[in-house]
Structures are given as C-alpha cells and as structure tokens.
C-alpha cells in the first residue's frame, strides 16, 4: 500500500538546460515521475517573494504523490533530484537555489528524526506553501491540530482589520 505525500517545490535560479524557475519546477515534476513517484496532483505554479538573503523571486508549487517509500527514503530520493538539478548545500538557509523539494505532510502522520521532521515545521506560516497545497490536498488535516490545509490557508491569508 503506498504512502501519500504533499511535496512543496520551489526554485529561484535559472537552470542551464531547463530554463527559468517555472520551467525548472515542471522538469522536476517530470523527474519525480521518472524516478518512480506517482504524481497524483499538481498545483498551479505561483510567484512569491524570497525569505532571507536571496533577492530573486521564487516559483512555487505543490504536488501530491504516492510511493511505497518511507519518509527517510523519500527524502534521500528528493535530495538526489535536487543535486541532479544543480543544488549545492552550503549550509546557508534561505539562499538562492535551483530546486528545493520539501516533504510537508504524509499519510503516516507525524515523523521525526535527526534529518527530517514531518509535518514541515514552518508550513503553517508560509502562504507560498499553503496556497498551492490547498489546491492539491485541501481536505488533508494538520496532524497537530484539527484544521484542514484549506482552513490553514484561509486563516493565514484572510484580511486583517487595519489598526486605528
């Protein structure tokens, strides 16, 4: 029986073969399928402002996939794809990158190890993750609460009253 995962995709660097970031994400989805992952749903690709020191805007998307791989094995596969796309891990967080593939949620509930935490620790605060995720897994629930992805996205993006 396969596991189901929500994967966040991001890119803010042009790839010499695949082109600009939106094309990098499309190529990454094809590479994921070529690596044996069943891509069940793909969100639209959106543009978002960078976090941290990077100045380039990101292309972001989300995919719902199925695979028999457990979280550590899937992480290893996703990191090998990032490396194939030219990602170099220099220890700096939030820098420019050709491809970023994050495991956000999976059908097995919470997971924690030295190298991986699922759900992704910051996904609840990131509209560039929750927006695309709400299009492919709107009814999935946050395992640490009762909210669905759709509700988390609505809470995060609802207009706030302007202080007087």
Catalytic residues: 87, 97, 100, 102
What share of residues in the chain are helix, strand, coil (percent, to 5)? 30, 25, 45
Measured in Å, how far apart are the chain's first and last C-alpha atoms?
A: 55
Output the DSSP codes for 96-160: --S-EEEEEEETT--EE-SS-EES-TTGGG-HHHHHHHHHH-TTPBPTTSS-BHHHHHHHHHSPP
Q: Can you give the C-alpha Rg of the chain in angstroms?
A: 16
Contact between 112 and 147 under an 8 Å Cβ cutoff? The reply is no
């Amino acid at each position: 029986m396969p596991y189901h995962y929500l994967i966040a995709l991001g890119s803010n660097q042009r790839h010499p073969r695949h082109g600009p970031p939106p094309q990098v994400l499309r190529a990454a989805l094809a590479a994921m399928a070529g690596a044996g992952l069943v891509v069940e749903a793909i969100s639209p690709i959106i543009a978002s402002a960078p976090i941290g020191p990077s100045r380039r805007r990101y292309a972001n998307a989300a995919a719902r996939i199925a695979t028999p791989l457990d979280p550590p094995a899937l992480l290893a596969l996703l990191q090998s794809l990032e490396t194939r796309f030219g990602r170099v891990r220099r220890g700096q967080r939030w820098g420019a990158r050709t491809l970023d593939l994050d495991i956000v949620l999976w059908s097995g509930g919470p997971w924690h190890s030295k190298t991986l935490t699922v759900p992704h620790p910051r996904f609840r605060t990131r509209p560039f993750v929750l927006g695309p995720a709400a299009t492919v897994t709107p009814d999935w629930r946050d395992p640490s609460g009762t909210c669905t992805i759709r509700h988390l996205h609505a809470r995060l993006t609802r207009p706030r009253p302007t202080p007087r």
